Chain A
């Protein structure tokens, strides 16, 4: 046992790193979910019929492209809240640092928002176009609809980028062993896709579409649980700081919400599985929604847990864990 005392410590780093709170977790959660909307929205666009006629599910048709820039902007607002020198934000766009995930994020999100807005405009079905107030915008929307598939491809690619980025943002810090894992971006991409699918389950009107996203989620939750296990295995078999980094998850303390998250995902999975096996749709709406809600809650809590516990991890021998 070491007795440690530090004279001249800063509260922001001692007894442990304390820079980011729930706003960052919410940003990462929304960013991941938007990534899911972009990727799955694009996929389902290719699966569905052209944008004409009645009975087309708005989820795949236009709600996911429309929600993507909105939710991402809300996420951006949360990270903006966290900046301590907000008036200087324009500096993000006067510099590009290829080694800085934050820089990639600033430029990436800067590109994603316009591209996803274009996609949203292109995806609005004819019968809803009159909601766009200005005739010029309606014309623009009409012209864009010709590029709908190309925009979907772009959004698919940017969605993958966004999902990965939410994890790289944390994994690029050598100083924080819990985050400093190449699996974290995969975990966050996977989680993002899964929460995106869950959201689509909730907003899709067509029961078949709900079932499709539920099926997608079954695959995503399964792989997410595998990635989580591999993530922990990777930490456990790495250097001592990495081993110490996961210790808070395995001791009684403040960090059991993580397990609630995993548990929640675990409930979401069997619930969804049951539905899948039964190939039921319409009458099982409540259960379908329930499983989606579990996935959303699980996704948020995992991010909260990783943001907080990651700040407890350190390479230094003085940080109290």
Chain B
């Protein structure tokens, strides 16, 4: 089913007819009919999270009144999650950043002055020029999340800095991507290239898919279990997914590696792996076998506190369904500092199940590609210095934390300007003290955002970006089983003085003397000239919202579709010589995590299906449904401590950092050794009137972090908290 223009007209007509039949004042209005509602439907893609589902905005008399999924979208199939449905809550948030503003006070103690765009961008350009002069262009870094980021990356490129960072690497899925890359020569992709709908056996390790609503993936996940897939959920907390599971393994936090290595050991010992597949595509089986032979189920049981027979049973069951076994790669994986190796263990287990490139396992994304470039752009300047990715050999991106360190220490070179786009740095980076210290060292802090999150307090200049419903962005090219392109276009005009990033960066670029990089007259020209050489009409795309190229799918290993592994050996590396040469473990090893001391709990965190990090906490319709997070504590321990379900408590971490007050959820649904809270709450920005001081901020309690020696990921589950009654 797809929506055609005629359908839109039909809907509009029906809606308009409905409006005119409302009898209020009908007779009283001697002048004639009540003015008819003007209804239109505008296709776009969602930005309530990064999954970017196809959406259609229903606009009535210039107001977005409803958002629905675009049925033409191959991934989201006409469906939107709670947040997607609540998109208007961002658009019509009364607390939005409305005007460009300059801080005339001190940094961190702002006195805001409303200024014109010209003045705000003039100020920013002057500062950027002077930083470039004094320290070189690489002294400016971007920290970004979201679709507008591509324009900022572009301007940074043109300006000459390689330092475009995103928390999605070191604070999120970086370790996983590298772990898979080291094993298969390729990451699991984003969205993950997993064939959940056809799996027969699904393993979630620390993933709470369902509460973590990645729309299309949740759809596939449910399809899989509805079709009878067995499900193992490894999680210290009885998540919604655990509620669907055949086996819930309430693992002791931090011991996932022990379980994985034991599973691998059992599968190898009992010859349960996919022999044909391993013989054909993998190397290092012998080395692997040797390295894992001591990880017996009995040993693992002691480490993980999962009964040994359950470890054996699940290993055997899993093998029965190979290759239709999906060890879900997870997403946020920066937990304990050995995360790349843990992800590698998951990749190795997947390989033993033969599920890479197999139906019900991992699929190959389409080989078709579409590179959209505006013709005649001059070459970007070659950066003079290496991007800030630390000393970690597998930090393939400029890394937030390396960039922050450089800002504080000036090593390997100073960073003097930050541009934060769509990313509340206070809530994304561990150890807020370090972040503040870094910001204090800056010559320029630019915040480009839609709402006054905490980090706007630290800005020198605020550039109010408009929401996704008011703007164009770059065309989204998605590579799943098929190739598709999706457009973002404004449903309504930008409110207040907010502007889209494409406009802001272009104006700033011109002020920086980078006109050559901005030859387009307007955004439609910019998009049109990229699309037209590929045979896509902008008008068609605007109407349909998304265009898929379905003939490009070839997702599974088949005769004539042999897999390519971009590893050193061109095979799946069960044993990594590359790692050994660099002094790392060629096969993952277990390291026992530090245990919480008496009276303390390990702090773990996750998501609510109603929120995306901190950015939706002020959204009327999501706030209403989930206003504040709760501290999940084992009912048994709560009772022992004399704490009641629903009472407010304060969490205090090992370094004495106190949280805002938080409601206690005394529950059977969690182990006794940890406390779980939903990420993104406890907002300290007074200007977010609904979210202010609601719940507790996990990031504030994450003062310690364990750095992954392979790629610089920041393991954030290494903090301990005690529960104190609210004074």
Whether B610 lies near A7 (C-beta < 8 A) is: yes
Whether B667 lies near A7 (C-beta < 8 A) is: no
For the complex, is B317 an interface residue (Cβ under 8 Å from A)?
no
Query: B610 to chain A: which residues have CB within 8 Å?
Result: 7
Whether B625 lies near A3 (C-beta < 8 A) is: no
Whether B668 lies near A8 (C-beta < 8 A) is: no
Whether B626 lies near A7 (C-beta < 8 A) is: yes
Whether A3 lies near B667 (C-beta < 8 A) is: yes
Q: Give the residue name and chain of the A residue nearest to B609 (CB).
A: A7
Chain B, residues 230-263, CB within 8 Å of chain A (1/0): the string is: 0000000000000000000000000000000000
For the complex, is B669 an interface residue (Cβ under 8 Å from A)?
yes
- Interface hub of A1, A3, A8 (most chain B Cβ within 10 A): A3
Query: B625 to chain A: which residues have CB within 8 Å?
Result: 7-8
Q: Give the residue name and chain of the B residue nearest to A8 (CB).
A: B625
Query: B669 to chain A: which residues have CB within 8 Å?
Result: 3
Complex Cα distance, B625 from A7, in Å, reads 6
Complex Cα distance, B669 from A7, in Å, reads 18
B519: min CB distance to chain A, Å: 50
Of residues 647 to 671 in B, which have CB atoms within 8 Å of A's CB atoms?
667-669
A244: min CB distance to chain B, Å: 20
Q: Give the residue name and chain of the A residue nearest to B667 (CB).
A: A3
Complex Cα distance, B452 from A277, in Å, reads 80
Chain B, residues 192-223, CB within 8 Å of chain A (1/0): the string is: 00000000000000000000000000000000
Q: Give the residue name and chain of the A residue nearest to B608 (CB).
A: A7
Query: A7 to chain B: which residues have CB within 8 Å?
Result: 610, 625-626
Complex Cα distance, B610 from A7, in Å, reads 10
Complex Cα distance, B596 from A312, in Å, reads 43
Complex Cα distance, B624 from A8, in Å, reads 9
Chain A, residues 4-25, CB within 8 Å of chain B (1/0): the string is: 0001100000000000000000
Query: A8 to chain B: which residues have CB within 8 Å?
Result: 625
Q: Give the residue name and chain of the B residue nearest to A9 (CB).
A: B625
Whether A3 lies near B626 (C-beta < 8 A) is: no
Query: B626 to chain A: which residues have CB within 8 Å?
Result: 7
Of residues 617 to 668 in B, which have CB atoms within 8 Å of A's CB atoms?
625-626, 667-668
Interface residues contributed by chain A, number (CB under 8 Å)? 4
Q: Give the residue name and chain of the A residue nearest to B238 (CB).
A: A3
Complex Cα distance, B627 from A7, in Å, reads 11
Query: B667 to chain A: which residues have CB within 8 Å?
Result: 3
Complex Cα distance, B667 from A7, in Å, reads 17
Of residues 119 to 148 in A, which have CB atoms within 8 Å of B's CB atoms?
none
Of residues 260 to 279 in A, which have CB atoms within 8 Å of B's CB atoms?
none
Query: A1 to chain B: which residues have CB within 8 Å?
Result: 668
Of residues 23 to 39 in B, which have CB atoms within 8 Å of A's CB atoms?
none
Q: Give the residue name and chain of the B residue nearest to A3 (CB).
A: B667
Q: Give the residue name and chain of the A residue nearest to B610 (CB).
A: A7
B644: min CB distance to chain A, Å: 14
Chain A, residues 105-123, CB within 8 Å of chain B (1/0): the string is: 0000000000000000000
Q: Give the residue name and chain of the A residue nearest to B625 (CB).
A: A7
Q: Give the residue name and chain of the B residue nearest to A1 (CB).
A: B668
Q: Give the residue name and chain of the A residue nearest to B630 (CB).
A: A5
Query: B668 to chain A: which residues have CB within 8 Å?
Result: 1, 3
Q: Give the residue name and chain of the A residue nearest to B645 (CB).
A: A3
A269: min CB distance to chain B, Å: 42
Complex Cα distance, B202 from A104, in Å, reads 60
Complex Cα distance, B667 from A3, in Å, reads 8
Q: Give the residue name and chain of the A residue nearest to B669 (CB).
A: A3
A209: min CB distance to chain B, Å: 56
Complex Cα distance, B621 from A8, in Å, reads 10
B190: min CB distance to chain A, Å: 28
B453: min CB distance to chain A, Å: 25
A11: min CB distance to chain B, Å: 11
Q: Give the residue name and chain of the A residue nearest to B624 (CB).
A: A8
Complex Cα distance, B300 from A302, in Å, reads 63
Complex Cα distance, B393 from A172, in Å, reads 75
Query: A3 to chain B: which residues have CB within 8 Å?
Result: 667-669
Complex Cα distance, B630 from A7, in Å, reads 14
Complex Cα distance, B625 from A8, in Å, reads 6
A321: min CB distance to chain B, Å: 15
B30: min CB distance to chain A, Å: 25
Chain B, residues 662-695, CB within 8 Å of chain A (1/0): the string is: 0000011100000000000000000000000000
B410: min CB distance to chain A, Å: 49
A172: min CB distance to chain B, Å: 33
B493: min CB distance to chain A, Å: 32
Q: Give the residue name and chain of the B residue nearest to A7 (CB).
A: B625
Chain B, residues 331-360, CB within 8 Å of chain A (1/0): the string is: 000000000000000000000000000000
Complex Cα distance, B670 from A3, in Å, reads 13
Complex Cα distance, B625 from A1, in Å, reads 24
A2: min CB distance to chain B, Å: 10
Complex Cα distance, B669 from A8, in Å, reads 22
Q: Give the residue name and chain of the A residue nearest to B626 (CB).
A: A7
A178: min CB distance to chain B, Å: 25
Complex Cα distance, B243 from A3, in Å, reads 13
Complex Cα distance, B666 from A1, in Å, reads 12
Of residues 577 to 619 in B, which have CB atoms within 8 Å of A's CB atoms?
610
Complex Cα distance, B668 from A3, in Å, reads 8
Complex Cα distance, B626 from A8, in Å, reads 9
Complex Cα distance, B668 from A1, in Å, reads 10
B89: min CB distance to chain A, Å: 15
Complex Cα distance, B35 from A47, in Å, reads 72
A7: min CB distance to chain B, Å: 5
B678: min CB distance to chain A, Å: 13
Complex Cα distance, B610 from A165, in Å, reads 47
Complex Cα distance, B63 from A228, in Å, reads 59
Complex Cα distance, B610 from A3, in Å, reads 20
Chain A, residues 73-98, CB within 8 Å of chain B (1/0): the string is: 00000000000000000000000000
B634: min CB distance to chain A, Å: 12
B504: min CB distance to chain A, Å: 37
B95: min CB distance to chain A, Å: 24
Complex Cα distance, B610 from A179, in Å, reads 38
Complex Cα distance, B667 from A1, in Å, reads 10
B542: min CB distance to chain A, Å: 35
Chain A, residues 146-169, CB within 8 Å of chain B (1/0): the string is: 000000000000000000000000
B664: min CB distance to chain A, Å: 13
A15: min CB distance to chain B, Å: 11
B646: min CB distance to chain A, Å: 11
Complex Cα distance, B609 from A7, in Å, reads 11
Complex Cα distance, B527 from A57, in Å, reads 97
Complex Cα distance, B626 from A3, in Å, reads 17
B606: min CB distance to chain A, Å: 16
B340: min CB distance to chain A, Å: 36
A158: min CB distance to chain B, Å: 41
B263: min CB distance to chain A, Å: 31
- Interface hub of A1, A7, A8 (most chain B Cβ within 10 A): A7
B272: min CB distance to chain A, Å: 37
A116: min CB distance to chain B, Å: 41
B685: min CB distance to chain A, Å: 25
Known: A3-B667, A7-B610, A8-B625. 5 other contacts (CB 8 A): A1-B668, A3-B668, A3-B669, A7-B625, A7-B626
Q: Which 4 A-B pairs have the closest CB atoms?
A: A7-B625, A3-B667, A8-B625, A3-B668
Which B residues lie at the A interface, using CB under 8 A?
A: 610, 625-626, 667-669
A-B contact pairs, 8 of them (CB 8 A): A1-B668, A3-B667, A3-B668, A3-B669, A7-B610, A7-B625, A7-B626, A8-B625
